[in-house]
Amino acid sequence: MNKFLKLVSTALTTVMLVGTLAGCGGKKSADKEGKETVTVWVHPFMKDQGEEQKMWQSFVKSFEDKNQNIKVDLQTVPWANRDQRLLTAFSAGKGPDVVYLITDHLAQFGTMGIIEPLDKYVTEDIKKDFPEKILKGATVDGKLYGIPMLQTVMAYNYNLDLLQKAGWDTKKLPETWEDLMNMSKMVKEKTGAYGMAMTLGNTPNSTYYPYLWQAGGNVINDKGEYTLDSEAGKKSLQFMRDLYANKYVPEDAATALTEHDALFQEGKIAMILSENLPSVFKELPFKYDVGPALKNKEQVLFGTLGSWALAHNSQNKDAAAKFILHLTSAENMKTFLTNTKYIPPRTSLGDMYKDDPYLNKVTKLAEFVRPGVVHPAGRSILSLLNPEIQAVVLGQKTPEKAISDAKPKVEKAVKDSLDLKPQ
C-alpha cells in the first residue's frame, strides 16, 4: 500500500519535495545469488578513512559470515546536505534500508512515516542495557525508531593556566551562571583574554538551548505549545546578552562558527565547548580540564544521540533490522567507540574509558545531557530562532521582542511538521 507524504526540509533546504514511499508489503529484493541485500548509509566518523573502512568491513564480514543469505551494501555518504539527500532519496523510494540519524531526524522522519518502528526487533534484554533516558531520545509517539550507537557531550573545557593567571581557583571550576560570569570578569580584567567562546553561527542546540534548559525553560513543551515566552526564556537570552555586552566573549560571537578554536589554542579564551578536546587539538600549550555541567535552576548540557534506523520502504526489513542489532551489539559498539572516541550509550560500556582521564570525565557528564528539541519541527525551529538570538546578543532587540517575534514562526513550524504525517 502506498502512502503519500509531503516532505519538507525546512532545516537546510527550505524547499518542498513531494514523493511516494514504496509500501511495506512489497516483494523482497535479492541479488543474482538470491541473497537479500541490505543497503546501509554511513557517514565519515574518523579522520583516517582507510582505517574507518576497515572497521566497517569487519562488521560487514562478521555479519555475512553468520547470515550467508544476506549481503550488506555499505555506502559512505558525506555529512554535507544530508537532510536534502535523505529526503530526496526516501521520497523517490530509493533510500537505504539502514541509516544513521540523530534525535531530531528521528522525530521528523518517524512522524512522516519514513522510518519504521523497531520495537518488535528489540528484546527486553537489549533495552535493559540502555538507560531509560537514552531510549526516550530514540522514541517518537511511544515507538522506538532507532537503536542508539553513540552519545556526544558538549562539555565545558577550561584553560587552567589562564584561570590560574587570572586568580581563579582551578580546583573549583564554574558550576553556576554566577561563577561563569565572575570567572569571565576576572579573566578579562586580569589577563585581557576572553572568558569564553560564543559561536552563534552554530545552531541554538549548542549555543542557546543549554542556557534555556539551565534556567528551567524550553522552546516548546511535549504538546508542541510555545513556551519560550517564559521567565526562563527572557533570563537566558539576557544572560547571553550580558556576556557579549561586557566583552567577555569575542566581538564576532554573533556570527562565528568555529573561529574561536584558534583563539583558545593561542591561550586567549578561558573556556570553550567541545565534545572531545584532544581530538580537536593535537596539542595544546597549556593545562586544561573539563568542568561540571552548569546550573541555574537545573544542571544541563547539550549532546547528540546517534542511532541506527530502519527505512519504512525497505523491502528486506527483517534482514536490515538484524544488521542494526549486529552493529549496536556491545562488542561492535565498543570497537566503534574505541576508534571514534564517542561516549557509550550502553550501560555495560560505561567504564570503557576508565583509563582515559579526559573521556572518563566526559562520560560521567552524559547523565546531564539533553539532545535538543525532540519534535518533528525541531530542526526547523533551530533556523528560526538563530536570527532572534543574534539580534538580542547584538543589542538590536530586547529578549521580550525577540521571543514575541519568534512565536508565530515557531507555531507555524510546529503546525507544518504535524501536517507531514502520512495521509
Between CA 99 and CA 257 the distance in angstroms is 27
Amino acid in the structure at residue 255: T
Between CA 159 and CA 164 the distance in angstroms is 9
Q: What cell numbers appear for 200 in the block?
A: 552563534
Q: Has residue 320 got a pLDDT over 70?
A: yes
pLDDT on residue 21: 37
Q: Has residue 9 got a pLDDT over 80?
A: no
Query: Model confidence over 204-220: pLDDT tens digits?
Result: 999 999 999 999 999 99
CA-based Rg of the chain, rounded to a whole angstrom?
22
Place of cell 587552567: 160
User: Which of 8-17, 150-159, 312-321 is predicted least confidently?
Assistant: 8-17
Distances (CA, A) of 179 to 167, 182, 247: 13, 5, 16
Q: What is the mean pLDDT of the chain?
A: 90
Strands 3-9, 15-21: pairing is antiparallel
Strand segments, DSSP code E, in 123-201 are: 139-140, 143-144, 147-151, 155-159
Distances (CA, A) of 192 to 22, 163, 171, 174, 395: 61, 12, 22, 19, 23
Q: What cell numbers appear for 214 in the block?
A: 539551565
For residue 319, the surrounding DSSP H or E stretch is: helix 317-327
Q: Are 7 and 293 in contact (CB under 8 A)?
A: no
pLDDT average, residue stretch 322-328: 98
Strand segments, DSSP code E, in 325-400 are: 369-370
Between CA 198 and CA 207 the distance in angstroms is 7
DSSP 33-68: TS-EEEEEEE---SS-HHHHHHHHHHHHHHHHHH-T
Q: Has residue 10 got a pLDDT over 90?
A: no
Q: Has residue 245 got a pLDDT over 50?
A: yes
Residue % of the chain over a pLDDT of 90:
77
pLDDT on residue 421: 62
User: Which of 15-29, 364-378, 396-410 is predicted least confidently?
Assistant: 15-29
Residue % of the chain over a pLDDT of 70:
91
DSSP 97-134: SEEEEEHHHHHHHHHHT-EE--GGG--HHHHTTS-HHH
pLDDT on residue 87: 83
∠248-249-251 over CA atoms, to 5°? 120
Q: Has residue 108 got a pLDDT over 90?
A: no
pLDDT on residue 155: 96
Dihedral angle sign, alpha carbons of residues 66, 68, 69, 70:
positive
User: Which of 108-112, 165-169, 268-272, 315-319 is predicted least confidently?
Assistant: 108-112
**C-alpha distance across the termini of the chain, in Å:** 12
pLDDT on residue 420: 64
